[in-house]
Amino acid sequence: MAELLQKDIEELRQGEAYAPFEGDPNQFDKKFYIESYGCAMNFSDSEVVASILNDRGFGATKNFEEADLILLNTCSIREKAEQTVRTRLHDFKKAKHNNPGMLIGVLGCMAERLKAKLLEEEKLVDIVVGPDAYRSLPDLITEAEGGQKSVNVLLSREETYADISPVRLDSNGVAAFVSIMRGCNNMCTFCVVPFTRGRERSRDADSIVKECQDLFDRGFREVTLLGQNVDSYYHTSAEGKEVTFANLLEMTAKVSPLLRVRFSTSHPKDITDDVLHTIAKYHNICKYIHLPVQSGNTRVLQLMNRTYTREWYFNKVKRIREIIPGCGLSTDIISGFCTETEEEHKDTLSLIEHCDFDMAYMYSYSERPGTLAARRYTDDVPDEVKKRRLSEIIDQQHLFQRENYKRDIGKVFEVLIEGDSKKSNKDWVGRSSQNKVIVFPKNKEGLKKCDYVQVKITSATSATLIGEII
Q: What is the CATH number of the domain that holds 256?
A: 3.80.30.20
Do residue 110 and residue 205 come from a single domain? no
Do residue 458 and residue 344 come from a single domain? no
Any domain includes 164: no
DSSP 169: B
Any domain includes 113: yes
Measure the CA–CA gap between 92 and 370, rounded to whole angstroms. Answer: 28
Residue where one domain finishes, among candidates 90, 120, 152: 152
Do residue 360 and residue 439 come from a single domain? no
Q: What is the CATH number of the domain that holds 59?
A: 3.40.50.12160
Measure the CA–CA gap between 316 and 319, rounded to whole angstroms. Answer: 5
Do residue 21 and residue 132 come from a single domain? yes
* 284-293: pLDDT as tens digits: 999 999 999 9
Measure the CA–CA gap between 8 and 17, rounded to whole angstroms. Answer: 18
Query: What is the Cα Rg of the chain in Å?
Result: 22
Do residue 77 and residue 136 come from a single domain? yes
CB 463 within 8 A of CB 398: no
Range of the domain at 448: 412-469
Do residue 204 and residue 128 come from a single domain? no
User: Residue 187 to residues 112, 195, 196, 306, 371: CA-CA distances in angstroms?
Assistant: 18, 9, 12, 8, 9
CA 397 from centre of chain: 21
Residue where one domain finishes, among candidates 362, 386, 406: 406
Residue where one domain finishes, among candidates 352, 372, 406: 406
Measure the CA–CA gap between 313 and 216, rounded to whole angstroms. Answer: 35
Q: Could you tell me which of 4, 5, 42 has the C-alpha nearest to residue 333?
A: 5
Domain count, the chain: 3
Any domain includes 101: yes
CA-CA-CA-CA torsion for 86, 295, 396, 360, nearest 10 degrees?
Answer: -60
Do residue 273 and residue 294 come from a single domain? yes
Any domain includes 465: yes
Any domain includes 169: no
* The pLDDT value given to residue 338: 98
* The pLDDT value given to residue 113: 72
Do residue 58 and residue 206 come from a single domain? no
Q: What are phi and psi of 120, to 5 degrees?
A: -105, -55
Do residue 323 and residue 370 come from a single domain? yes
Buried b (16+ CB within 10 A) or exposed e, 190-213: bbbbbbbbbebbbbbbebbbebbb
Q: Could you tell me which of 79, 67, 69 has the C-alpha nearest to residue 114?
A: 79
* The pLDDT value given to residue 24: 54
Q: What is the CATH number of the domain that holds 460?
A: 2.40.50.140
CB 405 within 8 A of CB 436: yes
Q: Could you tell me which of 451, 450, 449, 414 has the C-alpha nearest to residue 433?
A: 414
CB 196 within 8 A of CB 113: yes
Any domain includes 416: yes
Do residue 50 and residue 189 come from a single domain? no
Measure the CA–CA gap between 253 and 260, rounded to whole angstroms. Answer: 7
Any domain includes 306: yes
Do residue 457 and residue 337 come from a single domain? no
Give every residue of the chain whose pLDDT is below 50, as ranges.
1-23
Do residue 102 and residue 185 come from a single domain? no
* The pLDDT value given to residue 375: 95
* The pLDDT value given to residue 26: 61
Any domain includes 82: yes
